[in-house]
A and B are shown apart, each in its own frame.
Chain A
């Protein structure tokens, strides 16, 4: 193996394909995140419900979804569920749903944590000045909770972005898929995977940096109130 000649030109030559793959990665992670927000909000509400059964059921679903590996969920949905019930999901759809379920379980905790962090007195005060229960939530509790929810939500998104890399195993043509394909033809796995790794690290770091700035901004605006 000695005398290996590094061939970084392969990376430069395949930049257009890698860029295509990156777009797919971003698309699937964004669709997954949208599903995660819907799923998460639903089950966060469920967990905070006054009805014992709704509460127990929601808690069970969240813990269940969090204990199953994303990888297993992906295979279960794409090969198991869609074949068994002839749903015919595309690989992209199956990937987005799996990301949505895993992300949703985390988002449920983020929503709940954010809402429960708001002092109960805020809600009581809103009710005392005559707001309805739903208005007290949307006008008083939620705007304050958002400050806590948004930065943590971005962190969940960073996780989904990293998790989205595994969708290539079911044939979604994302960045990893492109890198695998090219490295098989050119025998340059080291160069290709290094490039993809660097791309991902810069992507996740910049999104996380964005979350940090956002958090600071949101905290500043709260100090001015």
Chain B
């Protein structure tokens, strides 16, 4: 480092602001798309695990074990590089990343949904039926609001993990925030400044989302017998998966 350069120089950040914001947008898009797909997949797998058929239960069990055990890094490499060679499925970068995020998170979410559904007491279903509600009405008005309240905090945590994990998509060249930060850091030779700003942007995204989830929890709290605001913020109810 030559002496003519200032020790800290955040001016290059301002120069690259448009690229950084675009990268941030792609990161958020990947995380949101990934988690939406993961919720759909997770719900299907959860219902399969609760099914009467042994084959469906077995498949769903293996699915959850598989995607909860595999590191995201390996999964992304496998989907993006592995599948092209072996099967000839050429998936572009961003969809590859979204699929990897969806598969990984669906493994965790299916367990969350399963326990959420099981946590609603059977008496609730029976009471609904006794009142003359149809099957879908019991599901819609009795089971879902109660199970929903239970699964909101863990699903929110999963979304936060997906935001953090989206940084790994940079390894296959998805032009998300971390990829942009790497390129710009090399261009200006300012890695400290660019990675600091990238870290802060992720931090802001995570904090906003966790506030949103707490608000959502409080809205759902009206279905709870012990109504009132929930005491645990999302951050304190997080899972113990430290791989993000």
Which residues on A are within 8 Å of B, measured CB to CB? 1-2, 4, 6, 36, 63-64, 66-73, 75-76, 79-81, 83-84, 102-103, 105-106, 109-110, 152, 155-156, 158-163, 165-166, 168-169, 176, 179-180, 183, 187-194, 196-197, 200-202, 204-205, 208
Contact = CB atoms under 8 A, between A and B. Distances in A.
B241 A159 contact: yes
B29 interface: no
Contacts of B70: 162, 197, 200-201
B191 A79 contact: yes
B130 interface: no
9 residue pairs, one from A and one from B, having the closest CB atoms:
A1-B88, A159-B242, A190-B86, A201-B69, A80-B192, A162-B243, A69-B164, A190-B82, A79-B191
A190 B164 contact: no
Nearest to A64: B203
Interface in B82-109: 82-88, 90
B77 A152 contact: no
B202 A67 contact: yes
Nearest to B204: A67
Nearest to B194: A80
Interface string B163-188: 11111101100000010011001000
21 contacts: A6-B86, A66-B235, A67-B202, A70-B243, A70-B244, A73-B199, A75-B191, A76-B192, A102-B242, A106-B238, A158-B243, A159-B244, A165-B74, A183-B81, A193-B78, A193-B81, A193-B82, A197-B75, A200-B69, A200-B70, A201-B70
B65 to A, nearest CB: 6
Given A160-B242, A200-B70, A75 B178 contact: yes
Contacts of B84: 1, 189
A160 B243 contact: yes
Contacts of B194: 80
A76 B165 CA distance: 16
A197 B163 CA distance: 22
Given A190-B82, A197-B70, A72 B195 contact: yes
B242 A205 contact: no
A79 B195 contact: yes
Given A67-B207, A160-B242, A76 B196 contact: yes
A2 B84 CA distance: 11
B143 interface: no
Contacts of A84: 7, 191-192
Contacts of B198: 72, 76
Given A169-B171, A193-B78, A201-B69, A152 B85 contact: no
B82 A163 contact: no
A109 B170 CA distance: 29
A72 B88 contact: no
A223 to B, nearest CB: 24
A105 B207 CA distance: 16
A33 B66 CA distance: 24
Nearest to A86: B1
Interface in B181-231: 181-182, 185, 191-196, 198-199, 202-203, 206-207
Given A72-B202, A75-B178, A76-B195, A197 B78 contact: yes
A189 B77 contact: yes
